[in-house]
């Protein structure tokens, strides 16, 4: 017959003592800190809480660059179409406007990305270190 004090007859009810729970919590906390330190050394480029901000900034930059490119093409086509209507040179104004708009779009993207300096600005005035 089993003792009424507990399943193992020790007087414990099977839940463990408060001291054992504290030891387990401390052990888990120690292991969590060790794991965090280990992961931090393996992935130093990944900062806590900044992953979402980096992704959002990347999407914003992509949207900005694509809108710069599309705006250049739309403006070039619009000017070419307008010149065709006024001068009656259809379709040459539209073709020339499309080509110029494409070039302007590429230039706008390069300027926004920081690859090409804006006209009239020297390298010295653009350098953020000075």
Q: Where are the beta strands (DSSP E) in 29-82?
A: none
- 63 in a structural domain: yes
State whether 32 and 75 are in the same domain. no
Cα–Cα distance for residue pair 114/117, rounded to 1 Å:
7
Q: What is the DSSP letter of 58?
A: H
pLDDT per residue as tens digits for the range 30-84:
999 998 888 878 765 655 556 667 778 888 888 999 999 999 999 999 999 999 9
Per the confidence metrics, is the pTM higher than 0.75?
A: no
Q: Is 101 exposed, middle or buried (0-12, 13-18, 19+ CB in 10 A)?
A: buried
Residue 12 belongs to some domain of the structure: no
User: Among 3-7, 52-56, 106-110, whose mean pLDDT is lowest?
Assistant: 3-7
H or E segment at 66? helix 51-87
Q: Which residues form the domain of 81?
A: 58-126
- pLDDT at residue 40, as a whole number: 79
Q: Does some domain include residue 104?
A: yes
Q: For position 13, what pLDDT does the model report?
A: 53
| Chain center to CA of 41 | 22
Please tell me the total count of domains within the chain: 2
3-state secondary structure at position 92: helix
């Amino acid at each position: 017959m089993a003792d009424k004090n507990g399943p193992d007859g020790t007087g414990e009810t099977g839940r463990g003592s408060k001291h054992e729970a504290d030891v387990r919590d401390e052990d888990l906390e120690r292991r969590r800190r060790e794991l965090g330190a280990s992961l931090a050394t393996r992935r130093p480029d990944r900062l806590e809480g900044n992953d979402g901000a980096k992704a959002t900034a990347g999407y914003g930059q992509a949207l900005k660059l694509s809108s710069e490119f599309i705006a250049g093409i739309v403006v070039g086509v619009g000017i070419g179409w307008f010149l065709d209507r006024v001068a009656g040179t259809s379709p040459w104004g539209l073709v020339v406007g499309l080509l110029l708009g494409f070039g302007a779009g590429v230039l706008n993207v390069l300027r926004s990305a920081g690859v090409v300096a804006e006209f009239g600005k020297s390298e010295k005035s653009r350098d953020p270190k000075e």
